[in-house]
Structure 1
């Protein structure tokens, strides 16, 4: 019996490819996120993915957009909880660091930067700007630009090599989160 494959809408095809790319990133690392590997995972051809993304860089950018959306949602929810008095600064730091680690943000950002696909970083930088704009829209006069800058860079570094650097210093990997909370306190005092 011949299997009949249903035609996907372009949006559904792109979403399936990005989800497959995200799975490869989580399971095997960014080097595994190739057009060939993603096509194989979703039962499509390399040419089909080229049609939808234009290039491997286009796929990487779409993956960065999806990860930025997920991370932003997590951080925004933590900030909203903090504003309602339901969370501590440490809760916000934990939400950010956990989201960056879960979605391997450091690895993806590092790969994009090292392969000089700087335009693919746009979703990440737009997310950072959106988080900062949220603080400004709430009328927060504190230097949140410095807080966000420091937290994002610490979270990226931690998601990339935090465990290894902590081991080299003999510290618990969670110490960097305490440093982040102290940084927030210092900048906002």
Structure 2
């Protein structure tokens, strides 16, 4: 008989979030349930319920992890842009890629459609952190508005960007050009 390795509560939570992330990538947000995660981990549903309280707790933890990774990526991209190392289009492309590849847009949409908005608190905190990181002292440009616009466009792109581009008979990367122009207009840099 094979014995399961005993894990600390923290190790078990980390493994559960990593497993949930795998399921999110492979099957989508709707498939991220306590039962599915527990089954893949070889644990019981009750054990995960003990660690997270509910599927909402698991989704919140998953959103927190992804939000911080995406926020760090965005802040890094914007930092490189501010230092003159990359063009704004590259920042937009990196953000859109992060939202799409991490299934972040889908996770946000799923949580909202399930009417569990409280699970989005980590996303709110991560976005607020990005704005704080990218706003140098004395900078009065509306970076908060530019960030809001970019995040909303990135979420939409992650959800239906390919399909809308196809419907408009345009290449998908046209969305990047539109986002860049909108951000520059918000920042007052288009004259």
Superposed displacement of residue 3, structure 1: 2.2
CA change 1:88–1:48 in 2 (3 A) is same
Match for residue 54 of structure 1? 53
Q: Secondary structure at the match of 2:135?
A: helix
1:1-189 maps to which residues of 2 (within 5 A)? 2-188=1-187, 189=189
Q: Secondary structure at the match of 2:81?
A: helix
Superposed displacement of residue 80, structure 1: 1.7
Deviation beyond 6 Å, 4+ runs, structure 1: none
Provide structure 2 residue ranges, at least 5 long, that are not aligned to the other structure.
Answer: none
- Deviations 1:39-68, CA, capped at 9 Å, x for gaps: 011111100000000001111101100110
Superposed displacement of residue 6, structure 1: 2.1
Superposed displacement of residue 115, structure 1: 0.8
State the distance in 1 between where 2:137 and 2:47 align.
44
State the distance in 1 between where 2:102 and 2:36 align.
19
State the distance in 1 between where 2:142 and 2:48 align.
43
State the distance in 2 between where 1:137 and 1:17 align.
38
Superposed displacement of residue 4, structure 1: 2.8
State the distance in 2 between where 1:145 and 1:177 align.
19
State the distance in 2 between where 1:139 and 1:67 align.
30
Of 20-29 and 81-90, more deviation after overlay is shown by 81-90
- Deviations 1:96-148, CA, capped at 9 Å, x for gaps: 11100011111111111111111101111111111111133444221111100
Provide structure 1 residue ranges, at least 5 long, that are not aligned to the other structure.
Answer: none
Q: How many residues align?
A: 188
**8 A contact 2:75–2:134 mirrored in 1:** no
The two structures have a TM-score, normalised by structure 1, of 0.95
State the distance in 2 between where 1:163 and 1:145 align.
27
Superposed displacement of residue 95, structure 1: 1.2
State the distance in 2 between where 1:29 and 1:138 align.
40
